[in-house]
Amino acid sequence: MFDRLCLIGVGLIGSSIAHRARRDGLAKEIVATARSQATRDTVARLKIADKVYATAAEAVAGADLVILCTPPGAFGAVAKEIAPHLAPGAILTDVGSVKQAVVDDVGPHVPPGVHFVPGHPVAGTENSGPESGFAELFEGRWSILTPPQATDPAATDKLAAFWKALGSKVEVMDARHHDLVLAITSHVPHLIAYNIVGTAADLEEVTQSEVIKFSAGGFRDFTRIAASDPTMWRDIFLGNKEAVLEMLGRFTEDLTALQRAIRWGDGDTLFNLFTRTRAIRREVIDAGQETPAADFGRPHGKG
């Protein structure tokens, strides 16, 4: 589909793209770069790229598809570095979990003749680094593309075809809409997990061993989400501030209503909500976004 696919940053997402693109022959050549020598050495050892470069500027030269796969906070600096070296006609995209911030940070650096199509594969695990990737990560998951209005629709279509070849289903939407939807489906749930695990860790009277010992009561499932990469999630909350604060406001109101129901012994309110939420779980399973087994959609044995 592409002559030269360039991955900037090769962690969970970058290496998963590389595995799949290599397995299915989606690019004649795959090149990559990463910040540290250690990651570049690992990429070379795993043989998921044909060439590994020390700098992003060298890596993007001649590439017809460039994918930014670093944490979102680094996109602006990377875009500035690579801009003079991008090939005319290339598609520049990213995999960042926030989208309006990418439009704002990367957009101004995109040279004329380069097609800018921000993207976000809604797939992941709590693991990071080049060794955590696998070819099936995007299978059956949604990838969202948020092209700015001026983007050539043919470039969006070509990138959509690439994500479909990676196993994804594709939806195109406005960047701000993406950020609002993801605030409630991903960002706020992560904040809740980080918070509850933090609260438990702070409880002096509940010893660490008891927290671990009885964790299967529900806490364990939050710890998986709260093990997600700190840099990436810091960048997500700073990059999607408005939508996250909006959703947190609603969440807090609803939580207060539940608190009140418990205080006043209002069992009907609790029961009705828990019945509605159980139905949503069923819808998630029916939509193919989860299996009934509590493995969070991860392939067994992948962390």
69 sits near ligand NAP (criterion: CB under 6 A): yes
State which residue, 227 or 273, has the beta carbon closest to ligand NAP: 227
Judged by CB, which is closer to ligand NAP: 51, or 261?
51
Q: Which of 14, 3, 253 is nearest to 130 (CA)?
A: 14
Interacting stretch for ligand NAP, rule CB under 6 A, among 91-99, 172-180, 259-267, 291-299? Answer: 91-99
Name the minimum Å distance from CB 48 to ligand NAP.
Answer: 12
> Which of 5, 34, 92, 193 contacts ligand NAP by CB under 6 A?
34
Shortest distance, position 205 Cβ to ligand NAP, whole Å:
34
Strands of 65-68's sheet, edge to edge? Answer: 51-53, 27-33, 2-8, 65-68, 91-94, 115-116
Q: Does 166 bind ligand NAP (CB under 6 A)?
A: no
Indicate the length of the chain as a whole number.
303
Token code pair at residue 74: 């680094």
Q: Which stretch binds ligand NAP (CB under 6 A): 65-73, 169-177, 196-204, 274-282?
A: 65-73
Comparing CA positions, the residue from 65, 56, 71 lying closest to residue 129 is: 71
Check: CB of residue 72 under 8 Å from CB of residue 98.
yes
| Spatial CA neighbour of 40 closest among 4, 75, 9 | 9
Name the region of 293 (left: φ>0; alpha: ψ -120 to 50; beta: rest).
Answer: beta
Residue 167 as a binder of ligand NAP (CB under 6 A): the answer is: no
d(C-alpha 68, C-alpha 54), whole Å: 15
Compute the CA torsion angle 238, 239, 242, 247 (nearest 10 deg). Answer: -80
> According to CB under 6 A, which residues from 112 to 131 bind ligand NAP?
120-121, 124, 128-129
Q: Residue 97 Cβ, how far from ligand NAP at the closest point, in Å?
A: 4
Report 201-230 residues binding ligand NAP (CB under 6 A): 229
Q: Which residues bind ligand NAP (CB under 6 A)?
A: 9-14, 34-36, 39, 69-72, 74, 78, 95-97, 120-121, 124, 128-129, 229, 232
